Structure 1
Amino acid sequence: MRDLIDAFWRASAYCLHPRVIALSVLPLLVAGGLTLAAGWFFWEAAVDGVRATLEGWLLISAFLQWLDSMGAEGFRAVLAPLVVVALAVPVIVLLSLLMVAVMMTPALVSLVARRRFPTLERKRGAGLLTSVMWSLGYTLLALLVLAASVPLWLIPPLVLVIPPLVWGWLTYRVMAFDVLADHASRGERETLLRQHRWPLLAMGVVSGYLGAAPSLLWAMSAVTLIFAPLLIVVSVWLYTLVFAFSSLWFAHYALAALQRLRVQAGAAPPSAGPVPVPAPAAEPPALPPA
C-alpha cells in the first residue's frame, strides 16, 4: 500500500511538469479532432436514427406516450441524444486510452526513468509493434465486453459499476505492459505482472473511476446535450489528462518494482551445485631394489 500511495503522489506531481503538459497536446489534438469531426458531420444523423429506432419499438413508444400523458413531454426530445452520448462515451474513453498509450506512455516512462531510475538497464522485452498489438487486442476485447453488457446498464446501480470496471481492467492490462515494455525483459515482465497483479488491478480500477468522472458533465443538465459536440471534445481533454496521470502512476510503481526485483536477484546467493570430490592421490611409484 505504501508503494501505491508513493507512486500516486509522485504521478500527481509529475502531471505539472512542462514536458508532460506538452506531451498531452498531441493525443488531445488527434482524439479531439476525430471526435469533433464525427460530432460535426454525424451528430444530427445519429440522433435522428436513434429516435426513429426507439419510436419504432412498441414498448418504448408506449413508455414515451405514457410520459407525455404525465406531462413529461421534454423527455422525448432528450432521450435520443442521451442514448447517442451513452453509446459514444465508451468509444471516446477507449480512443483516449489508446492515444495516451501509443503517443505519451513511452515518453513518460523515459522521463520517469531518467529522473528517478537513471541506472536502470533497458532490456527491451517488447517492441513498439508488440505494444500496439497488445493494446489493440485488449481494447477490442473491452469493446466486446461493453457491448455485451449494455442491457445491464438499464439497471441503475450497474451502469455506475460495469463501464468503470471494464475501463479499469483495460487500463491495468495496457499500462502495466507498456511501462515495462522497454526496461524489463520478457521474463521480468511476466514475473512482475504475476507478483503485482492485484495492486496493478487496483490502480487500473481507480483509474477507471477517475476516467468516469468526465461523464458527470452529462449529468449536470439536459441543456448540456445541446452543446454535446463541443462538450465531447472537453471530455476528451479530461480523459487524456486522467490517462496521462494513470500512465505516470503505473510507471512510478512498476519501475520501482522492477528495480527491487533486480536488486533481489543480484543479492541472492548462487544456487549451490554439486561439490566436486577430489580424486584420491596417486600412490608414489615403488623404489627400485637396491
Structure 2
Amino acid sequence: MRILLDSFWRAVAYCLRPRVILLSFLPLVLMVGLAAGLGYFFWDPAVAWTRSTLDSWPLLANFWGWIGNFFSSDFSATLAQLVVVLAATPAIVLVSLLVVSGLMAPALTRLVATRRFPELEHKKGPSLIWSVIRSLGLTLLALVALVVSMPLWLVPPLVLVLPPLIWGWLTYRVMSFDALSEHADTEERATILRTHRLPLLAIGVLCGYLGAAPSIVWASGLLFAAGFFILAPIAIWIYTLVFAFSALWFAHYCLDALARLRAERAALAFAVAQGPATLSHDADRAIQTQWGAP
C-alpha cells in the first residue's frame, strides 16, 4: 500500500511539470496539423461527394425544398460541410491519440527513470514489434471480453463494474509491460507482474474510471452542437492528461518495484556470501540500508 500511494502522489506531482503539460498539448497540435493538411487536399472533393450523395436521396428531395423556404443560402451545401467535419473529426482524433500515446509513454517512463532511478540498470527488453503485437493481442482479448459481457450490463450494478474492470486489466497489462520494457529482463518482468498483480490491477481500474471523464465532456459537445468545436478539444486534452498520469503512475510503481526487487536479491546474495548463519540478519540490514527502515 505504501508504494501504491507513494507512486500516486509522485505521478500527480509529475503532471505539474512543464514538460508533461507540453506533451499533453501535443495531440491538439497534431490534430490541427492533420486537419489543415487533409482539408487542403481533400476538402472540396469530400464536400462535393457528400452533397451529391445527399441530393441523390429521393426521400430528402422534398425536405431540401421545404428547408429552402426558411434559409436564403444553400442549406444542402452547408449540411454537407457539417457532415464532412463531423465524420472526419473522430478519425483525426483517433490517429492523433494513437501517435501521441506511442510517443508519450516511453518519454514519460524515461523521465521517471532519469530523475528518480538514474542508477537503475538497463537490461535488454522486448523488441518494438513484439510490444506492438502483444498490445494488439491484449486489446483484442479485452474487446472480446466486453462483447461477451454485454448481456450482463443489463444488471444495473454490473454495468459500472465490468467495463472498468476489463479496461483496467488491459491498462495494467499494457502499461506495466511498457514501463518495465527498457529496464527489466523477462524473468524480472514476470516476477513483478505476478507479485504486484492486485496493486497494478487497482491502478488500471482507477485509471479506467478517470478515462471516463473526457467522455462526459465529449457527450456534452454532441448534445450542445454549438459548443462542439470548443468542448471536443477540451475532451482530447483531458484524455491526454489522464493518459500521461496513468503512464507516470505505472512508471513510478513498476520502476520502484524493480529497484526493490534487485535490492532484495543483492542483499540476499550478499548474505549468502557471508555465510548461512548471518543470512537473515545481513539481508534485513542490507535492505534497510538501501531503502531505510520501514
Distance 1:234 1:146, change over 3 A: farther
2-side partners of 1:176 and 1:223: how far apart? Answer: 36
Per the alignment, in what secondary structure is the counterpart of residue 14 of structure 1? helix
Alignment of 1:178 onto 2:144: no
Q: TM-score, normalised by structure 2?
A: 0.65
* RMSD (Å), alpha carbons: 3.9
Report what 1:212 is aligned to. Answer: 212
Deviation string, structure 1 residues 250-272 (Cα, Å, up to 9, x no partner): 00011011001001111113489
- How do 1:128-207 and structure 2 match up within 5 A? 128-207=128-207
Distance 1:153 1:257, change over 3 A: same
Report what 2:26 is aligned to. Answer: 26
2-side partners of 1:237 and 1:32: how far apart? Answer: 13
Distance 1:143 1:265, change over 3 A: same
Per the alignment, in what secondary structure is the counterpart of residue 268 of structure 1? helix
Distance 1:125 1:221, change over 3 A: closer
Deviation string, structure 1 residues 215-271 (Cα, Å, up to 9, x no partner): 223666973356556644432221111111000000001101100100111111348
1-side partners of 2:4 and 2:122: how far apart? Answer: 23
Distance 1:206 1:94, change over 3 A: farther
Structure showing the higher helix proportion among its residues: 2
Question: Aligned partner of 2:268: which letter?
Answer: A
Report what 1:108 is aligned to. Answer: 108
Report what 1:15 is aligned to. Answer: 15
- How do 1:275-290 and structure 2 match up within 5 A? none
* 1:125/1:182 contact within 8 Å kept: yes
* 2:180/2:254 contact within 8 Å kept: yes
Deviation string, structure 1 residues 41-69 (Cα, Å, up to 9, x no partner): 89xx9xxxxxxxxxxxxxxxxxxxxxxxx
Deviation string, structure 1 residues 147-188 (Cα, Å, up to 9, x no partner): 344454455444433332222111111100000000001110
Question: Aligned partner of 1:131: which letter?
Answer: S
Report what 2:71 is aligned to. Answer: none
Question: Aligned partner of 1:128: which letter?
Answer: L
Report what 1:258 is aligned to. Answer: 258
Deviation string, structure 1 residues 112-148 (Cα, Å, up to 9, x no partner): 1110011001102222222222222212222233334
Alignment of 1:245 onto 2:236: no
Q: Which runs of 4+ in 1 moved over 6 A?
A: 31-37, 92-95
* 1:217/1:224 contact within 8 Å kept: no
2-side partners of 1:151 and 1:102: how far apart? Answer: 33
Percent identity between matched residues is 57
- Based on CA coordinates, which of the two structures has the bigger radius of gyration? 1
* 1:100/1:244 contact within 8 Å kept: no
- Structure 2 stretches lacking a partner, 5+ long: 51-85, 276-294
**Structure ranking higher on relative contact order (CA contacts 8 Å, 6+ apart):** 1
1-side partners of 2:107 and 2:149: how far apart? Answer: 35
Q: TM-score, normalised by structure 1?
A: 0.66
* 1:122/1:184 contact within 8 Å kept: yes
Distance 1:222 1:103, change over 3 A: closer
Distance 1:142 1:107, change over 3 A: same
Distance 1:211 1:233, change over 3 A: same
Distance 1:149 1:100, change over 3 A: farther
